[in-house]
């Protein structure tokens, strides 16, 4: 089954949670992470073609609701996403999301999809794309500090794309660590559950921090971080939310997606507005240097950017072609006469 065109009664392909899970199992988790990484890297290499703006955010005491739009001139995409750290206390997800792609020429949507699971996958794929660029050559061990909903995806992406063989887990909630260790059983990774962040970092070349508290926090202190490591700071970022001690930032080469957004939400909100950072797309295209030497600390101050979601949406659009992994959704009005919308409404009375 091909994606319906507007002429097909204006049906829009809708990928439900169930169909997204079936797509992931059809592709294979690690294979899908690798495929998403290819799409993300390809779009980062054509970065200058995209419309770019910091996400449109509505903040409240409990969390944030955001829209993340972009376009390459031919296709428009956006993601709706929330971040509510206290949701888990009520049995709800911290993050939920859905996304849409549209044809710029007509304005018609061509895909509507769940993005809660897809965001976890694209975040992990982005982390691995960057780690492959910046982490010490031959990295085999990652510390995963924060073992919530992202942790398994991050671990598997680093295995599939970077070649990590061991993941060392730590979370202040031991149940989260047990959950992550159980989910990674049989993955081919050596999984080590640790009693402290310092223990988790022993022998790690890559340190991933992924916590969700909406506050200034110090997950890593300066004395915990030795030379030569790559830090992948991916926690649920927003104004007033950080994970790293400022001294680490002053020691590290800092790499970001889109500075205008990262300076608002990322670790670098703790620094001066003109503190130098390097954009990842520039490293991928050879316009900027990545890791300088074996002693340098590299930091990916990841906050998530709309182009990554655009890449993920493109991937899903392409992968569902010829499958039954979507519902045709009656989303758009389709009157016989485009000028007679009211007449269409009246005919529905019968």
> Distance (Å, rounded) from C-alpha 305 to C-alpha 255?
13
> Distance (Å, rounded) from C-alpha 105 to C-alpha 285?
29
Give the phi and the psi of residue 119 in degrees, each rounded to 5: -65, -40
Distance of alpha carbon 234 from the chain centroid: 9
Residue of 237, 334, 336, 337 with catalytic role: 237
> Distance (Å, rounded) from C-alpha 196 to C-alpha 110?
47
Give the phi and the psi of residue 76 in degrees, each rounded to 5: -110, 140
Among the listed residues 280, 285, 248, 289, the one whose alpha carbon sits nearest the alpha carbon of residue 262: 280
Residue written as tokens 């020429």? 105
Note if 213 is an active site residue: no
Give the count of beta carbons closer than 10 Å to the beta carbon of residue 65.
15
Residue written as tokens 């991928």? 284
> Measuring CA to CA, how many Å separate 191 from each of 211, 230, 232, 299, 330?
19, 19, 19, 24, 46
Give the phi and the psi of residue 324 in degrees, each rounded to 5: -105, 20
Q: Could you tell me which residues are beta bridge partners of residue 68?
A: 79
> Could you list the active site residues?
237
């Amino acid at each position: 089954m091909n994606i319906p065109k507007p002429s097909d009664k204006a049906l829009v392909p809708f990928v439900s949670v169930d169909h997204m899970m079936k797509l992931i199992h059809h592709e294979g988790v690690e294979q899908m992470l690798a495929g998403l990484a290819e799409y993300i890297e390809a779009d980062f290499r054509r970065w200058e073609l995209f419309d770019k703006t910091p996400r449109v955010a509505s903040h409240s005491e409990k969390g944030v609701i955001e829209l993340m739009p972009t376009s390459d001139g031919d296709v428009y995409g956006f993601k709706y996403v929330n971040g509510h750290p206290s949701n888990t206390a009520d049995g709800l997800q911290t993050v939920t999301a859905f996304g849409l792609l549209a044809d710029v020429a007509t304005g018609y949507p061509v895909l509507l999809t769940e993005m809660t699971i897809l965001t976890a996958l694209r975040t992990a794929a982005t982390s691995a794309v960057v780690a492959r660029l910046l982490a010490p050559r031959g990295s085999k061990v990652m510390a995963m500090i924060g073992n919530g909903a992202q942790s398994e995806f991050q671990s598997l992406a680093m295995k599939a794309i970077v070649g990590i063989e061991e993941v060392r887990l730590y979370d202040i909630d031991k149940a989260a660590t047990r959950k992550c260790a159980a989910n990674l059983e049989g993955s081919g990774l050596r999984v080590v559950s640790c009693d402290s962040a310092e223990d988790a970092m022993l022998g790690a070349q890559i340190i991933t921090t992924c916590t969700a508290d909406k506050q200034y926090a110090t997950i890593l202190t300066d004395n915990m971080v030795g030379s030569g490591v790559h830090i992948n700071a991916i926690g649920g970022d927003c104004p007033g939310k950080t994970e790293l001690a400022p001294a680490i930032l002053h020691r590290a080469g800092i790499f970001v997606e889109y500075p205008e957004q990262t300076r608002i939400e990322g670790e670098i909100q703790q620094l001066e507005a003109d503190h130098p950072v390097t954009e990842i797309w520039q490293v991928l295209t050879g316009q900027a240097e990545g890791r300088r030497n074996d002693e340098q600390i590299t930091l990916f101050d990841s906050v998530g950017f709309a182009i990554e979601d655009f890449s993920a949406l493109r991937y899903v659009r392409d992968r569902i072609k010829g499958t039954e992994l979507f519902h045709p959704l009656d989303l758009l009005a389709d009157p016989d006469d485009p000028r007679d919308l009211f007449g269409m409404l009246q005919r529905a009375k019968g």
